[in-house]
Chain A
Amino acid sequence: MSREYGPKSQLRLAVLWPPFLVSGVATVLAFVMFDPLPLLANTDLAALSRLQADSIGLFWFWLITTASSWLTCCFQRPPGQREHTAVNA
């Protein structure tokens, strides 16, 4: 039984999904360790509540980890290869 993959959508999820898992854990660990309020006290974000800060923190982590994940996908391809078929192999 052979399956045909949609490489584009699969690549997109492969870039987005693992970062989401990791940033979930990272958010819990980070905000249990550090209270966001004193950290933000002297910034423009001082008005945020903890729940807001934690939620934004999650998306911030997600953004950073996605960048890392995306770079991994880029580097996974051997240099010189042009087409976007990293997962298609």
Chain B
Amino acid sequence: MTSSIEHFEQALYAKREKIFPRQVHGLFARWRLLGVIVLMGIYYGLPWVTLGDRQAVLFDLPARKFYIFGLTFWPQDFIYLTSLLIIAALALFFFTALAGRLWCGYACPQTVWTEVFLWIERKVEGNRAQQMKLDKSPWTARKLLIRGTKHFLWIALSLWTGYTFVGYFTPIREFGLAVLNLSTGPWETFWLIFYGFATYGNAGWLREQVCIYMCPYARFQSAMFDKDTLIISYDADRGEPRGSRKRGIDPKSAGLGDCIDCTLCVQVCPTGIDIRNGLQYECIGCSACVDACDEVMDKMEYSRGLVRYTTENALEGRPAHVLRPRVLIYATILVGLLGAVGYSIASRVPIGLDVIRDRNALYRETAEGLVENVYTLKLINMDDHHHRFRLSASGLEDLTLKLDHESIEVPAGQVREFSARLQIDPVDLKKASNEVFFELEAINNVALKVRESARFLGPTGSR
């Protein structure tokens, strides 16, 4: 009987040779490690940060309020979320045009979590050779124990990841207590397990298959490439003809290039490709092969950079251009958008006013012969302080605003609904439909004011 793991590998998606990436040391590996530590630190740490008496970053779905440090966003601030998504996409375009798949190699959660899972795998199973030997060996008690330990650690980390994920949407400390008491809500439990399972599956089992088959970015990123985009490439002119040789021999005298064909670049590759076959879409630009080859070149006392970050133009001996139209265009739009969003958030007025005209009657006439329109106003105080507001109306001459109360009080983070009536002498009414404005101002803070337009309807023309 074939082992269940082998069967899984075969059936899940595509027939695949299992990849055991060899550990790599070097400059870029250190950069990636830094990325892993910083990003993981942010992901696992952020929900535990408190600001005042609440979680600093919390997307409170039940209350529909989104806390990001000092700022509280409401669904009315939808535009910021949209802008954020557009900025993220543009930033991805910009960095891809400039430096290729930086995102894939250093910052993508798939890469980052896979690194952590690989680290656990190495701690439990040993180095690449030991892992391969264990994989081929029959199912002994020892193998069961080692594999069991690995999966136990993977699952534990995955569940912690799922727990952290839910902690962004529900206060993480209370959720922790609920988990300990086994009293979590059904959907929280579902998301904890779902996200945990996704982490376990993606970083433990699927790994490079996510990048090759499932990632949409991997499919369209080449559209952002040009001949000046930074890529990882093997210098075939320098390396070929490849071949093994004794150390100290002058390669030219033996009719060889600089590549000693040690295949370390293949062994370290997390997607299992041979960089020497040229640019391939499986390459996630992680530069493990660069580090591996540099180490070998050092040992051979050849100069580094047989596999290196370079550009197509540079490889062909043409001058490289960093500032190209597409880079400049992406950069300009990106900076413009960032500036606009930054300004807009900085000058955001944390109150909102929605005006809804009474739908039942277009207008009515009062006993005094005035034309009256009725509105429902919704006042949202998105600020962290209690405020008292004054309302006024303008837009037509001699327009009178009738309210049940002089001023409207709204506690911090609350919504108040009230009705308002506008009255006017029909003599002053020139058109059937007129634009009027409601102006709302906080009595204790004049900087807090908004103006909202509405329609005022009346009989056609004046009498």
Contact = CB atoms under 8 A, between A and B. Distances in A.
A68 interface: no
A64 B276 CA distance: 44
Contact of B14 (A6, A17, A21): A6
A62 to B, nearest CB: 12
B188 interface: yes
Interface string B56-73: 000001101000000000
Chief secondary structure at chain B's binding surface: helix
A10 B187 contact: no
A89 interface: no
B185 A51 contact: yes
B65 to A, nearest CB: 11
A6 B61 contact: no
A32 B80 CA distance: 11
A35 B380 CA distance: 15
A6 B85 CA distance: 35
B81 A32 contact: yes
B61 A50 contact: yes
A72 interface: no
B216 interface: yes
Contacts of A45: none
A6 B13 contact: yes
A29 B81 contact: yes
B141 interface: no
B41 interface: no
A28 interface: yes
B59 to A, nearest CB: 10
Interface string B83-123: 00100000000000000000000000000000000000000
Contacts of B187: 51-52, 55
A31 B14 CA distance: 36
Contacts of A18: 216
A88 interface: no
A6 B81 CA distance: 39
B152 interface: no
Contacts, number: 52
Contacts of A33: 75, 78
B463 interface: no
Interface in B151-184: 169-170
Contacts of A21: 216
Given A17-B214, A32-B81, A10 B13 contact: yes
Nearest to B80: A32
B254 to A, nearest CB: 29
Nearest to B15: A4
Main secondary structure of the interface of A (DSSP, over half): helix
A18 to B, nearest CB: 7
Contacts of A5: 14-15
A32 B78 contact: yes
B14 A51 contact: no
Given A28-B81, A50-B61, A50-B62, A6 B11 contact: yes
B446 interface: no
Contacts of A35: 64, 75
A55 B190 CA distance: 10
Nearest to B185: A51
B373 to A, nearest CB: 24
A9 interface: yes
Given A51-B62, A55-B187, A10 B75 contact: no
Interface string B185-198: 10110110000000
A85 interface: no
A63 to B, nearest CB: 16
Interface string A1-26: 00111100110010001100100010
A9 B78 contact: no
Given A13-B214, A49-B62, A55-B191, A32 B12 contact: no
B281 interface: no
Contacts of B14: 3-6, 9-10
B320 to A, nearest CB: 32
Contacts of B43: none
B213 interface: yes
Given A29-B81, A51-B187, 7 more contacts: A9-B14, A10-B14, A32-B78, A33-B78, A35-B64, A50-B62, A54-B61
6 contacts: A4-B15, A9-B13, A13-B213, A13-B214, A33-B78, A35-B75
The 8 tightest CB contacts between A and B, nearest first, are A4-B15, A50-B62, A51-B187, A55-B187, A5-B14, A32-B75, A32-B78, A50-B61
